[in-house]
Amino acid sequence: MKKLIASLLILVIGIGAVAAFQMEAYGGVGAEFYYAEGFQNTRISDYRRFGSQEGSLLLNLADMNSSGVLITVQGGVRYETLPNLYALGEACLGFISLDTYALQLEAGGLFMFPMSLFVQNFHVGVGAKVGFFDFTKALGKAQVLQGTTPPVILEAGTISNGDSIEFSTLGVSITPFVDFTFDLGSFLAIGADIGFQWAISFKSALYANKTIEVSTDSQDFYLPNSSYPPTRMSMSPVVSLTGFKANVHVSYRW
């Protein structure tokens, strides 16, 4: 999550540094489709190293399997590199539940047709954005299971009681879109854009304290209720944000 926010800040600063013509910031709300499948409740354990003296954690992930419409808030900046041609950077955030959310960062370009020659203060543009998303479930503070021996010592690092843990699925996206903008004045405008987004995940992992990463292809994932010796399990979750995407926004220009 912090890495994605840092990437957005770098993008915004970079855009501001090279702005050549008109620049604007915008914010609004939107909607897009999503589905997530293949998540399972699992146990992560250091049994391979310590046998019956293992330390283990239970991960409740099955409730991440869901689908529907994701309501998002978004913000971004765009600047005019050539007359009517804009570069842009955008971030949007939507919550599936209090502990499960999707963060998306995109960059792209937009060509605005000079429609104001025919309809005063009205602009239509076509563009495309590419980026990546992070579909995350915050699992709170680590609590090593009773009857096992803390901490959980894995090849990737050590997870102790009280460590902050989350499960994250990363993906890439591409979105062609049409933008409609109406000027309210020289500095203020309202608008909407509608597009079709292709977005699919490619990597899932458990993170502890934002630094320890345990990929789902690790051999340290086990069935949650298996007896000794515990039974290993594999998990290949898939998250998709593919479908129509729309948002409305307010822009401020300078």
Q: What is the pLDDT along the chain (254 residues), one digit of tens a residue?
A: 555 555 554 544 454 444 445 789 999 999 999 999 999 999 999 999 999 899 999 999 999 999 999 999 999 999 988 888 999 999 999 999 889 999 999 999 999 987 766 778 899 999 999 999 999 999 999 999 998 999 999 999 999 999 999 999 999 999 999 999 999 988 999 999 999 999 999 999 999 998 899 999 899 999 998 778 889 998 999 999 999 999 999 999 88
Number of domains in the chain: 1
The pLDDT assigned to 6 comes to: 53
Side-chain-side CA neighbours of 136 within 13 Å: the count stands at 22
pTM equals 0.83
Do residues 142 and 162 make contact, with C-beta atoms less than 8 angstroms apart? Answer: yes
The residue range of the domain holding 23 is: 2-253
b/e burial code for range 84-102 (CB count within 10 A of at least 16 → b): eebbbbbbbbbebeeebbb
The pLDDT assigned to 94 comes to: 94
| Domain of residue 16, CATH code | 2.40.160.20
The pLDDT assigned to 231 comes to: 92
The pLDDT assigned to 16 comes to: 46
The pLDDT assigned to 116 comes to: 65
Cβ neighbours of residue 239 under 8 Å, at least 6 residues apart? 34, 35, 36, 133, 135, 169, 171, 200, 201
Rounded to 5 degrees, what are φ and ψ at 240?
-130, 135
